[in-house]
Amino acid sequence: MSRFKDQLPVDRMCEWVGLTRSVYYYKLAGGKPGCSVSTTTGKADGTQVSNEEVVSTIKNILSEEFATYGYEYTAAILKRQDYIINKKKVYRLMKENDLLLNKKISTTGPRQFIRFRTVTAAYSMEYLSMDIKYIWVEGEKRNYYLLSIEDIYSRKILGHVFKSSIRKKDVLQLLKKLQDQASIKGVIIRNDNGPQFIANQVKNFLRLAEVKQEFSHPATPEDNAYIEAFHSIMQRDMVERNEFESYYEAKTTIERFIYRYNFIRPHRSNKMMTPHEKWEAGLALRSSDKQQNEGANLSRLMNTDAEKLENSSLCTGLDKIAKGEYLCLSDDLKARKQNEELYQNHLEKTVRIIGG
């Protein structure tokens, strides 16, 4: 680059070789290298503790309920616990131990988008719908988030999570809990394109569980209308009629509302049955349909085996020959020759008897 700096702009040459201008112009100061990374951290009482102990304290802080802290909040809490530490060191320790908040959700592979907005579910646990709703808490002047999963056949809410933030681990926990309660193999689940749903861990879990995941088209809530309808009912019947003073009040109210919605409130799409009543009926249909499918598969296998057996011993005819013996006339050339020889011998013997 120094050779051609009088003929070409530095910017263009840096672009060609993949360098930034700051790297090109950087000059070594020639001084001593910086301090090595410290292995201990000081406390207000003058003692020194190992960085492993600091990491353990950070894990305890982040393990508390709703503790979704970044490195700045974590550094502030550590200082309250008498640690002499700055946020840069907290960032380094959290990064080395994979404790930082994942702002970016990585995803690979194509997404299967919804083809038909309206589906006709024949029984419970055939189609599910999942989404997140904001709940405003007036007393804390902030939103909390409600993650719900609904059975489309019965409109029953099968599980929910209410937290200060919803991350991919919350989605995984809800799905695993549902998997423990009911078989999700073969289920089709709908969701939008939120980072919690497109995360590789969520997609891989559903793939291994043999669950088909469908994504709504961007900016198209109509593709996930079933769970959106539930959120509309919740907004009208609960959120707009209450002013929550705290997270706890909102949480207990949501639990009471979902219980009433599932077990007491009639649903128009269920012909005024409650979601739980329709759910129970749908489970019976699913069990019956499964038994019929298993019976049909067994019958098909038995018919296939019978056909194989019949084909393997297929005879074109039976000839009665000497001494009441029967031979099967098969397509095999050798067997046909044997049949012909036996028949010819029997015929000659018969002619001799008649002639004699």
- 8 Å CB contact between 289 and 123: yes
CA distance 308 to 200: 46
pLDDT reading at 104 higher than 70: no
Please tell me the distance from the alpha carbon of residue 338 to that of residue 332, in angstroms, as a whole number: 10
Inform me whether the pLDDT recorded for 317 exceeds 60.
no
User: Could you read off the pLDDT of 201-227 as tens digits, one per residue?
Assistant: 899 999 999 999 989 888 788 888 899
pLDDT at site 68 = 73
Collect contacts of 170-174 with beta carbons under 8 A, ≥24 apart.
170/196, 171/130, 171/147, 171/196, 171/197, 171/199, 171/202, 172/201, 172/202, 172/205, 174/147, 174/149
- Percent helix, strand, coil in the chain, to 5, is 50, 15, 35
Residue 102 has pLDDT above 80, yes or no: no
26-40, 97-111, 215-229, 329-343: segment of lowest average pLDDT: 329-343
Residue 259's pLDDT band (cuts 50, 70, 90): very high
Average pLDDT over residues 269-289: 87
Q: Answer yes or no: is pLDDT of 333 > 90.
A: no
Would you say 330 and 316 are in contact if contact means Cβ atoms under 8 Å apart? Answer: yes
Spans of all domains in the chain: 40-96, 127-279, 318-355
Contacts 24+ apart (CB under 8 A), 183-186: 183/125, 184/125, 184/209, 184/211, 185/209, 185/210, 185/211, 186/210, 186/211
HSE toward the beta carbon, residue 209, CA cutoff 13 A? 23
Q: What is the pLDDT, as a whole number, of residue 321?
A: 40
User: Nearest Cα to 203, choosing from 134, 120, 111, 91?
Assistant: 111
Q: How confident is the model at residue 330 (pLDDT cuts 50, 70, 90)?
A: very low
Angstrom distances, CA of residue 112 to CA of 69, 215, 319 = 33, 6, 63
Mean pLDDT of 315-336: 44
Asked whether the beta carbons of 20 and 10 are under 8 A apart, the reply is no
Quick one: average pLDDT of 119-126?
Answer: 84
Neighbouring residues of 165: CB distance < 8 A, sequence distance ≥ 6: 68, 145
pLDDT band at 187 (very low <50, low <70, confident <90, very high): very high
DSSP symbol at 113: B
Cα–Cα distance, 158 to 11 (Å, whole number):
59
Give me the architecture of the 127-279 domain, per CATH.
2-Layer Sandwich (3.30)
Instruction: Give the whole-angstrom CA distance, residue 14 versus residue 26.
Output: 13
Q: Which phi and psi (to 5°) does residue 116 adopt?
A: -125, 125
Which pLDDT value is given to residue 323?
A: 40
Q: Is the pLDDT of residue 309 over 70?
A: no
| 16-55 confidence digits (pLDDT tens) | 888 888 888 877 776 666 677 889 999 999 999 999 999 9
Cα–Cα distance between 60 and 44 in angstroms, integer? 20
Torsion of CA 184, 189, 192, 198, to 10 degrees: 50
Across the chain, mean pLDDT equals 80
* DSSP 8-state code for residue 197: H
31 backbone dihedrals φ, ψ, rounded to 5°: -85, -170
Average pLDDT over residues 121-149: 92
pLDDT at residue 251 in the model: 95
- Tell how many helices (H) and how many strands (E) occur in the chain: 12, 10
DSSP H or E segment with residue 83? strand 83-84
Per-residue model confidence (pLDDT) at position 300: 60
- The per-residue pLDDT for 339 is 59
C-alpha span between 209 and 201 (Å, rounded): 12
Q: Name the residue among 28, 52, 27 with its Cα closest to residue 41.
A: 52
List, for residues 54-73, the tens digit of each pLDDT value: 999 998 888 776 677 889 98
